[in-house]
Amino acid sequence: MVADFEDWREVVAEAVAILQDGGLVALPTETVYGLAADAFNAEAVAKIFEVKERPSFDPLIVHIGHKRDLELVAEVPEELEEVVDELIATYWPGPLTLVLPKKPSVPDLVTSGLDTVAVRLSSHEVMRAVAREMPIAAPSANRFGRISPTSADAVMAELAGKIPMVVDGGACRDGLESTIVAPEMTEKGPVLRLLRPGPISREDLRKIAKVIKPRKTKADHIEAPGQIESHYAPETPLILVDKPEDFVPEEGVKYGLLSYRGEGNGSLMEAIEWAHVEIMSPGKGKLAEGAVRLFYCLRNLDAAGVDVIVSESVSETGIGVAIMDRLRRAAATSKK
């Protein structure tokens, strides 16, 4: 069922009832839609992996409904209290996920056996209202390795018939998954290990503490498993083009274009006769608009029946870092 945003209080009550009963519902957040289960109910959480067809048990993000609920699921080490408080005061509710030592009450299935848990407080009214009733484990509501859904329609395209309820909260405001950060203490003070770039940029985080890179891991290792390359991929092969002259079209191939602005220097718009074109930022929103529309455009290109998607690059500043991160992953998957 697709519930209407207009009467969301009733809808929230219905979603909560399904969740309390051990069922799954898809819920809107400001980043992407999440596939939600009661985080303290391991059997319900197991259903998430089944529905997503995940080959492995990746750790999931736990959504809470109040800042004070952090203590239900995580333990903030005393030495990190100050930096964590500042992150929370600045960015919660919002698209920032914190990786912290977990409370024993969180099932191992949620954290994949790690001793840390990823937690966030969404700014979307629906997710927040539901999470006030119980902590919610929710990965993005797509099947494994596919594009994250940024609308209820996209969730339906992924999961129709597999879950009892999709709450339609409109298009996602940010359109890209949350920034994931693990605060750590070093001799020189606290640092923020950036595990996944997202709507809260590196520049934003730097105002609070030094930002460091994730540890290098093998593709199947768990430290930052969301970083495995098969994530965020359209089914159609994707080529990421840096400079227009790098694109050399082949005879007889049907190309679709993912253009950043649809015009200007460095645009591929005029390069060839495209079979389908999607423009990330057709308005004046630039990078923020590009982020909001990225997954939507990729879904449309995937559905357009082209042989290859060619994507322009965007500048790697602010949320452009997260856009390029997702595009590189999509391109890397295509090469296999």
Binding site residues, ligand TXA, CB under 6 A: 29, 31-32, 34, 58-61, 97, 99, 111, 114, 116-118, 138-140, 177-178, 180, 195-196, 224-226
Integer Cα distance of 182 and 99 in angstroms: 5
Residue 178 or 259 having the CB closest to ligand TXA = 178
Residue 148 or 259 having the CB closest to ligand TXA = 148
Residue 219 or 248 having the CB closest to Mg ion = 219
Binding partner selected for residue 150 from Mg ion, ligand TXA, none, CB under the kind-specific 5 to 8 Å limit: none
φ, ψ at 63 (rounded to 5°):
-100, 130
We find the least distance from the C-beta atom of residue 206 to ligand TXA, in angstroms, to be 21
Q: Which of 190, 173, 172, 168 lies closest to 181 in space, CA to CA?
A: 190
Using Cβ positions, the residue closest to Mg ion within the complex turns out to be: 140
We find the least distance from the C-beta atom of residue 257 to ligand TXA, in angstroms, to be 27
Binding partner selected for residue 74 from Mg ion, ligand TXA, none, CB under the kind-specific 5 to 8 Å limit: none
**Token pair belonging to 160:** 């129709």
The secondary structure element, H or E, covering residue 129 is helix 125-131
Rounded to 5 degrees, what angle do the CA atoms 176, 180, 186 make? 155
CB 176 within 8 A of CB 291: yes
Amino acid sitting at position 186: T
Binding partner selected for residue 28 from ligand TXA, Mg ion, none, CB under the kind-specific 5 to 8 Å limit: none
Residue 225 or 256 having the CB closest to ligand TXA = 225
Long-range contacts from 48-57, C-beta under 8 angstroms, 24+ separation: 48/24, 48/137, 48/138, 48/139, 51/24, 51/159, 51/162, 51/163, 52/139, 52/142, 52/143, 52/144, 53/143, 53/144, 54/144, 55/144, 56/220, 56/225, 57/109, 57/112
We find the least distance from the C-beta atom of residue 78 to Mg ion, in angstroms, to be 32
In this structure, the strands spanning 189-196 and 255-259 are unpaired
We find the least distance from the C-beta atom of residue 196 to Mg ion, in angstroms, to be 10
Using Cβ positions, the residue closest to ligand TXA within the complex turns out to be: 226
Residue 143 or 276 having the CB closest to ligand TXA = 143
Interface residues with Mg ion (CB under 5 A)? 140
In this structure, the strands spanning 179-186 and 276-279 are unpaired
Residue 222 or 271 having the CB closest to ligand TXA = 222
We find the least distance from the C-beta atom of residue 114 to ligand TXA, in angstroms, to be 4
Binding partner selected for residue 180 from ligand TXA, Mg ion, none, CB under the kind-specific 5 to 8 Å limit: ligand TXA
Binding partner selected for residue 147 from Mg ion, ligand TXA, none, CB under the kind-specific 5 to 8 Å limit: none
Amino acid sitting at position 276: H
We find the least distance from the C-beta atom of residue 50 to ligand TXA, in angstroms, to be 15
CB 205 within 8 A of CB 178: no
